[in-house]
A and B are shown apart, each in its own frame.
Chain A
């Protein structure tokens, strides 16, 4: 079965620290990749996505992610986190053979200390 792994369940950082959240997926075919964020009390919203082209994609609020096909990875990065980045982050993968169905990782809770 196709799966998505997020290795860090809970990350705690101080403001201005750099962030990298890991995401690996299990399928080697054509994929679309997403990072979603869920701020406390809010619903999921898109941070960034990769469909094709430049494997380094930039999203909102200074986030970026790099697609490395050989490693089946799509890690999320931010050079300097802020307290307002405290949220839960989900990696999701849509496999093109799956008619639009996305598989989500279990999520990473990021806590940024002021």
Chain B
């Protein structure tokens, strides 16, 4: 049981480039999340998904896109990278009941450190 895995661990992009951050979980969790963590700041929710085929915006979605074709995978796409997207990106997953209440904690991946120059 690997939990939540993320690739790559580090990446440097030039302004305007695109990339996809991969996230996979093997716990059969229905909820998945993408956060960014800037220095000295807490985690800001970018996008989340309540199940395969369903995604929704979080607090800071601009400049990002997501898809959820399977329960396990939740990739985050950056189009036209900008220096403001330099951050550490965390993927997380959790299990929620039918009413949408978290019945378990969020499990986090190890993070992807992205620098846009």
On A, residues with C-beta under 8 Å from B are: 4, 6, 9, 32, 34, 36, 42-46, 49, 51, 90, 92, 94, 96, 98-107
| Residues of chain B within 8 A of A42, CB atoms compared | 110
Interface size class on chain B is 20 to 34
Give the nearest-CB partner of B6 in chain A.
A43
B43 near A96 (CB under 8 angstroms)?
no
User: Scoring B residues 66 to 100 as 1 if CB is less than 8 Å from chain A, else 0, what string do you get?
Assistant: 00000000000000000000000010101010011
**How near does chain B come to A94, taking the closest CB pair, in angstroms?**
5
| Residues of chain B within 8 A of A4, CB atoms compared | 42
Given contacts A100-B48, A101-B48, contact A90 B58 (CB under 8 A): no
| Residues of chain B within 8 A of A106, CB atoms compared | 40-42
| Residues of chain B within 8 A of A92, CB atoms compared | 43, 106
Give the nearest-CB partner of A90 in chain B.
B42
Q: How far is the CA of A44 from the CA of B90 in the complex (A)?
A: 9
- Is the CB of B23 closer than 8 A to any CB of chain A? no
Point out the residue from A45, A100, A107 that lies within 8 Å of B94, measured CB to CB. A100
| Residues of chain B within 8 A of A6, CB atoms compared | 42
Point out the residue from B43, B48, B102, B109 that lies within 8 Å of A90, measured CB to CB. B43
- Is the CB of B50 closer than 8 A to any CB of chain A? yes
**How near does chain A come to B38, taking the closest CB pair, in angstroms?**
10
Point out the residue from B41, B58, B101 that lies within 8 Å of A107, measured CB to CB. B41
Q: How far is the CA of A54 from the CA of B105 in the complex (A)?
A: 18
A96 near B105 (CB under 8 angstroms)?
no
B40 near A101 (CB under 8 angstroms)?
no
A43 near B110 (CB under 8 angstroms)?
yes
| Residues of chain B within 8 A of A104, CB atoms compared | 35, 42-44
Q: How far is the CA of A103 from the CA of B30 in the complex (A)?
A: 19
